[in-house]
């Protein structure tokens, strides 16, 4: 698509970032004249090794996009340009209001002192008028079931490699029923990804808060939530964001909590505002064991947080980023965003690297499934069914975060059904873990994260705490 355009340079600003003093955001205001139909904001800097700067633009009417390229070194150029009917990657299309605009440089971290140049060009553009495509796609389908999908994936609108269409294509190729696109900061990929939905693939609009002390996925949003929570002393903190997500009917979840400098350090988070927690992250290696232990701590403190998986895919066909190697499986009323969010909120969910699970608990004639609470009256009988075991598996039942019992199952394509009775039932929760069976002795070993096959969510027992 060619456009005739005349650019007028409005502003050139120079500045510098350095490790100290620690500055989280740099703000530059500029004025956009009347009659502007194309705006271009470009940040240029030279990066030797570790200097992560992200560019965002805000107009008088609000947020207009973010550009990042954290993997690059050398001469970095981050550009956001847009107008009615067109936008560069990361940017939101729309008319250009005249008045005071703001460029924000998010200094995620820097070990270097680096000079930067911020250029604002305002002008006119004649783009072929693109009639907004009527959104006629069907997002999912009715019918209750256990659906498997991905809750953590990126496109080239943030730091992923592929387009939204390519990510959706990979999701279908690898057998996913649903996909949450969690680009960093920006909603610019939402129109493209929702256009890829269909009866066979439900799309959830999500966003990854990419803060200086941790990352959080926000699922089921209808509009952008301001993810910039690192201005010291600002009332717009991590709890304000989590509440804003809930106001939209969405869910707030903590990602890769032990990922070193990208790990979770927002100690002020009110964990009762946390809906989901990544208990299995496909790139996090041994940190998965720490995530699981920390989650048990939340559960033991009475927070009913749903454990989920994340591939954190930045390239849907590549290595451990390839979609479809780990799933979050949701027991949903329908394969729709609303049905899937309902299942996540309720805890009808498990993490799987292959097998399928059925898991219920029974006491005094009452039955509860994952996410539900079983009133205690005498012994508890757990019913565990596992199918699709490609490997001999060791299955653990965990009770209130501690080992309860384990048993070994052979590889089988048929469902293996197991019943376990616990005569010593106490308030709390049971959950199930399955691992490809190790060679170790029976008395120790078996919960090695790298052999993970399946992690259930809890069935709760007893009254509310
Ligand atoms: Zn992240």
Q: Is the pLDDT of residue 133 over 80?
A: no
463 band by pLDDT with thresholds 50, 70 and 90: low
Q: 215 alpha carbon to ligand 1 midpoint, in Å?
A: 5
Query: Phi and psi of 82, rounded to 5°?
Result: -165, 165
pTM of the model: 0.94
Q: 263 alpha carbon to ligand 1 midpoint, in Å?
A: 9
- Find out whether 331 and 349 touch, Cβ atoms under 8 Å: yes
Q: 266 alpha carbon to ligand 1 midpoint, in Å?
A: 14
Q: 233 alpha carbon to ligand 1 midpoint, in Å?
A: 24
Q: 154 alpha carbon to ligand 1 midpoint, in Å?
A: 10
Q: 208 alpha carbon to ligand 1 midpoint, in Å?
A: 7
Q: 183 alpha carbon to ligand 1 midpoint, in Å?
A: 9
Q: What is the CATH number of domain 4-126?
A: 2.60.120.380
Closest to 343 (Cα-Cα) out of 332, 359, 329: 332
- pLDDT tens digit string along 358-394? 999 999 999 999 999 999 989 999 999 999 999 899 9
Q: Is the pLDDT of residue 298 over 60?
A: yes
Encoding tokens for residue 260? 């070193």
Q: 321 alpha carbon to ligand 1 midpoint, in Å?
A: 13
Domain boundaries, the chain: 4-126, 145-352, 356-461
445 band by pLDDT with thresholds 50, 70 and 90: confident
Average pLDDT value for residue range 315-324: 94
The superfamily in CATH containing domain 145-352 is Metal-dependent hydrolases (3.20.20.140)
Output the CA–CA distances (angstroms, integers) from residue 423 to 197, 290, 359, 461, 465, in the order listed: 48, 30, 18, 13, 21
230 band by pLDDT with thresholds 50, 70 and 90: very high
Q: 209 alpha carbon to ligand 1 midpoint, in Å?
A: 8
Q: How far is CA 329 from the centre of its chain?
A: 15
- Find out whether 415 and 385 touch, Cβ atoms under 8 Å: yes
- pLDDT for 3 equals 47
The superfamily in CATH containing domain 356-461 is Immunoglobulins (2.60.40.10)
- Find out whether 123 and 7 touch, Cβ atoms under 8 Å: yes
Query: What whole-number percentage of the chain has pLDDT above 90?
Result: 91
Q: 160 alpha carbon to ligand 1 midpoint, in Å?
A: 12
pLDDT mean across residues, the chain: 94
Q: 262 alpha carbon to ligand 1 midpoint, in Å?
A: 7
Average pLDDT value for residue range 193-210: 97
- pLDDT for 80 equals 98
- pLDDT for 132 equals 56
More confident call, 443 vs 174: 174
Q: 282 alpha carbon to ligand 1 midpoint, in Å?
A: 12
How many residues would you count in the chain? Answer: 465
Alpha helix segments (H runs only) across 324-460: 337-346
Q: Which of 8-12, 67-71, 95-99, 248-252 has the lowest mean pLDDT?
A: 8-12
Q: Is the pLDDT of residue 2 over 60?
A: no
- pLDDT for 464 equals 42
Q: 210 alpha carbon to ligand 1 midpoint, in Å?
A: 6
Q: 276 alpha carbon to ligand 1 midpoint, in Å?
A: 14
- pLDDT tens digit string along 89-120? 999 999 999 999 999 999 999 999 999 999 99
Average pLDDT value for residue range 282-307: 97
- Side-chain-side CA neighbours of 413 within 13 Å: the count stands at 0
Q: Is the pLDDT of residue 465 over 50?
A: no
Query: What whole-number percentage of the chain has pLDDT above 70?
Result: 95
Q: 94 alpha carbon to ligand 1 midpoint, in Å?
A: 28
């Amino acid at each position: 698509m060619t456009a005739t355009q005349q650019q007028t340079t409005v502003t050139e600003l120079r500045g510098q970032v350095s490790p100290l003093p620690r500055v989280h955001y740099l703000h530059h205001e500029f004025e956009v004249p009347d009659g502007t139909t194309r705006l271009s904001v470009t940040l240029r800097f030279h990066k030797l090794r570790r200097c992560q700067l992200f560019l965002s633009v805000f107009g008088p009417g609000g947020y207009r996009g973010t550009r990042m390229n954290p993997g690059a070194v050398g001469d970095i150029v981050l550009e956001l340009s847009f107008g009615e009917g067109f936008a560069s990657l990361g940017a939101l299309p729309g008319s250009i209001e005249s008045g005071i605009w703001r460029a924000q440089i998010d200094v995620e971290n820097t070990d270097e002192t680096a000079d930067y140049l911020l250029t604002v060009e305002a002008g006119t553009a004649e783009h072929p008028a693109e009639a907004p495509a009527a959104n006629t796609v069907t997002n999912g389908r009715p019918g209750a079931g256990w659906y498997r999908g991905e809750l953590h994936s990126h496109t080239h609108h943030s730091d992923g490699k592929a387009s939204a269409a390519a990510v959706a294509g990979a999701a279908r190729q690898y057998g996913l029923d649903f996909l949450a696109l969690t680009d960093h900061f920006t909603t610019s990929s939402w129109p493209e990804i929702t256009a890829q939905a269909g009866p066979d693939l439900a799309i959830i609009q999500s966003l990854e808060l990419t803060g200086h002390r941790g990352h959080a996925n926000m699922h089921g949003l209808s509009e952008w939530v301001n993810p910039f929570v690192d201005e010291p002393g600002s009332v717009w903190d991590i709890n304000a964001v989590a509440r804003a997500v809930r106001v939209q009917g969405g869910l707030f979840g903590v990602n890769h909590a032990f990922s070193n400098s990208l790990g979770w350090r927002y100690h002020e988070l009110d964990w009762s505002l946390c809906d989901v927690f990544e208990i299995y992250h496909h790139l996090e290696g041994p940190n998965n064991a720490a995530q699981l232990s920390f989650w048990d701590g939340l559960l033991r403190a009475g927070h009913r947080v749903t454990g989920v998986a994340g591939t954190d895919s930045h390239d849907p066909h590549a290595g451990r980023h390839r979609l479809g190697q780990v799933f979050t499986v949701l027991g949903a009323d329908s394969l729709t965003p609303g049905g899937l969010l309902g299942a996540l909120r309720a805890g009808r969910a498990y993490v799987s690297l292959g097998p399928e699970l059925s898991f219920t608990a029974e006491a005094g004639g009452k039955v509860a499934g994952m996410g539900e609470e079983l009133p205690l009256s005498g012994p508890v009988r757990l019913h565990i069914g596992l199918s699709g075991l490609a490997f001999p598996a060791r299955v653990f039942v965990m009770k209130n975060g501690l080992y309860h019992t384990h048993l070994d199952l052979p590889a089988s394509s048929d469902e293996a059904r197991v019943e376990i009775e616990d005569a010593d039932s106490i308030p709390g929760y049971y959950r199930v873990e399955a691992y490809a069976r190790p060679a170790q002795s029976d008395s120790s070993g078996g919960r090695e994260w790298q052999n993970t096959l399946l992690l259930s969510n809890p069935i709760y027992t007893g009254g509310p705490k």
